[in-house]
Structure 1
Amino acid sequence: MSAFHLLLPLLFLTILFGACSGEEDRRAEDSRIPDGFGYVHKVISDARYDIRYYTEDNFVGARVDGYLAPVAILTDEALAALKKAADELREQGYGIVVFDTYRPQKAVDHFVRWARDPSDTLTKQKYYPEVDKADLFEKGYIAERSGHTRGSTIDLSLYDLETGEEIDMGSGFDLFGPPSHHDSELVTPEQAANRILLKETMERHGFLPYSREWWHYRLADEPYPETFFDFDVQ
C-alpha cells in the first residue's frame, strides 16, 4: 500500500475533526445570546466594527458594564433589515461601520451613574464640549431606558469600500451637541449629503432616525418593544 493511501484516512479524520470543531465553536458562540438574536458579523461579512463601549474611548472613559467582547448583536428582524441596507450601500461603494447595537440594561445603568456624578468630566472636551453634564438627561442624550436594550437599534456610519476610509459625517460618534443633530447647520454640504445617504437608505429598510444623533437608527417594527434585555455582549 502506498504512503498516499495510508495518509488518506488521517487526512479525512483531520478534516472531519476540524469541521466538528468549527461547528462546536459556532454553537458555543450562539449559546451566549438568546433565541431571536444574532451576530452582525455572521450576516454582513464586510461590516467594520468600532465598539467603543468595549474600550475606554467613550464618554464614560472606561469599559462599560456588560461589554465582554467587541461584537455586535441584533434581533433577527433588525439583522435582516440591516443586511438589506448594507447590500444597497455596497452597490454604491460603501460598507457599514458599527459602533453599537444591542446594549444590556446594566450598561445603561452605568451611563446613568456616570451622568449623575458631576465631578467626573474627564471626557467633556471630546464628547460633550458644548453641553453641561447636568443637562444630558434633559436634552435626551442619556436616559434610564434605551432602545438599544430592546435589541433592534444600531449606531453606525459608513466607510469607502475602495479606500477603506471612514466617510466624513461632520461630527464623531457620541458627540453630544448640535453638530450631531440631523438638521445641524454646523456641517458642510458634503457632510450633510453623507448623512442623508445613510438616513434615506436606513429608512427604506424600515429604520427610524433619532433627530439628535445622525448615527442612531431603530427598527420601526421591532419585535420586543416593551422588553429591556440584560444579557452580556459576548
Structure 2
Amino acid sequence: MLVLSALLLGTQAKADGTPALSSAKTADQAGLVDIRSLAPDIAEDIKYAGSDNFVGRPVDGYLAPKCFLLKPAAEALARVERDLHAQHRGLLIFDCYRPARAVAHFVRWAGDLADQRTKPKHYPTLDKSALLGDYIAPVSGHSRGATIDLTMTQCDAHDAHCKPLDMGTSFDYFGTLANTESPQATPTQHAHRELLRAAMEREGFRNYAMEWWHYTLTPEPTPDTIYDVPVQ
C-alpha cells in the first residue's frame, strides 16, 4: 500500500507544495528521451536496474539499464559530455529519471530495519533508522526528469580506457564524506569533485550539497510534476 499512497500523494499537488503525478504512461508521453539518442557513447552504470545498490536488488520501475531525462536536461547533459571529450574526459551515469514507484520502493526498504545487507558499503557509520529524511524522502527530484547522478572519468589520449576519478566515496554512500564540501575528503578528491561541478554548472546544472554526484538542471522543465512511467 505504500506504493499507492506515495503515488496518490502527488495528485494533491499544489495545495501542500507536493508535485502533481503526471498521467503519462510512456516515456514519449512524458517527454522523456534516452540520453543515448543525443550522446551515443556516454558511459552508463544504471545502479537501480541491477543489484549493486543500497537496496541490494533491482528497484521497482527499472526494467532496463537506461537513462531517461526530459529533453532540455538531456540536451544539456550531452553538451557536458561533448565538452569533456576535448579534455579526454567523460561522464559515467548512475541514475537519471526515477519512477515514483522506485521512490516508494526505497521508503519500504528503509522501513525494514531487519534488512542490513548493504550497511557495510552504503551506510557503515549510520543507523538505518536515520536514513528516512535527508537521505531517502517520499518524493524525489529525480522523478521530475531533470536530475542526474553521475561521476567523471579520465581517459587516455585515444579516449579509451576511461576510469572514474577518485571522489572519496562510492555512489549512494550515506554519510558526511559524500557531502560535496566534506572536510573529510582529501585535496585530490575535492579537486575532482570541483572538476565535475564546474563542468556541470557550465551547462546549468546545480549540485545538491549532501551528494557530490547529484545534479539538477536549473530551472527545471517541469518543477511541479513527477512521473511514474517505467524505465524500459
TM bin, normalised by shorter chain, reads 0.7 to 0.9
1:200 alignment partner in structure 2 = 198
Report the Cα offset of residue 208 of structure 1: 0.8
Report the Cα offset of residue 220 of structure 1: 1.1
> In the alignment, residue 156 of structure 1 is paired with which amino acid?
L
**Does residue 1:145 correspond to 2:139, yes or no?**
yes
1:155 alignment partner in structure 2 = 149
Report the Cα offset of residue 228 of structure 1: 1.0
1:5 alignment partner in structure 2 = none
**Does residue 1:48 correspond to 2:43, yes or no?**
yes
Report the Cα offset of residue 35 of structure 1: 4.9
Q: 1:220 aligns with which of 218, 221, 228?
A: 218
User: In the TM superposition, what whole-angstrom CA distance separates every residue of 1:60-85 from its partner, at most 9, and x where no partner exists?
Assistant: 01110000000100000101111121
1:11 alignment partner in structure 2 = none
Report the Cα offset of residue 32 of structure 1: 5.0
Q: Secondary structure at the match of 2:207?
A: strand
CA contact (8 A) 1:46 1:95 kept: no
User: In the TM superposition, what whole-angstrom CA distance separates every residue of 1:146-172 from its partner, at most 9, and x where no partner exists?
Assistant: 010000000001112223211111110
> In the alignment, residue 146 of structure 1 is paired with which amino acid?
S
What is the root-mean-square deviation in Å for CA atoms of aligned residues?
1.2
User: In the TM superposition, what whole-angstrom CA distance separates every residue of 1:76-98 from its partner, at most 9, and x where no partner exists?
Assistant: 01011111211221111111100
Q: Secondary structure at the match of 2:216?
A: strand
Higher helix share: 1
> In the alignment, residue 44 of structure 1 is paired with which amino acid?
A
Pair member with larger Rg = 1
Q: Secondary structure at the match of 2:195?
A: helix
1:90 alignment partner in structure 2 = 85
Q: Any stretches of 5+ residues in structure 1 without a counterpart?
A: 1-30
Could you tell me how far apart the structure 2 residues matched to 1:210 and 1:147 are?
11
Q: Secondary structure at the match of 1:130?
A: coil
Could you tell me how far apart the structure 2 residues matched to 1:32 and 1:150 are?
12
**Does residue 1:63 correspond to 2:58, yes or no?**
yes
Which moved further from structure 2: 37-46 or 151-160?
37-46
2:131 alignment partner in structure 1 = 136
Report the Cα offset of residue 131 of structure 1: 1.4
Could you tell me how far apart the structure 1 residues matched to 2:226 and 2:30 are?
15
Q: Secondary structure at the match of 1:70?
A: coil
1:180 alignment partner in structure 2 = 178
Q: Any stretches of 5+ residues in structure 2 without a counterpart?
A: 1-25
Could you tell me how far apart the structure 1 residues matched to 2:76 and 2:111 are?
36
Could you tell me how far apart the structure 2 residues matched to 1:90 and 1:34 are?
32
CA contact (8 A) 1:33 1:231 kept: no
> In the alignment, residue 79 of structure 1 is paired with which amino acid?
A
Q: Secondary structure at the match of 1:82?
A: helix
Structure 1 runs, 4 residues or longer, greater than 3 Å off: none
Report the Cα offset of residue 203 of structure 1: 1.2
Report the Cα offset of residue 177 of structure 1: 0.4
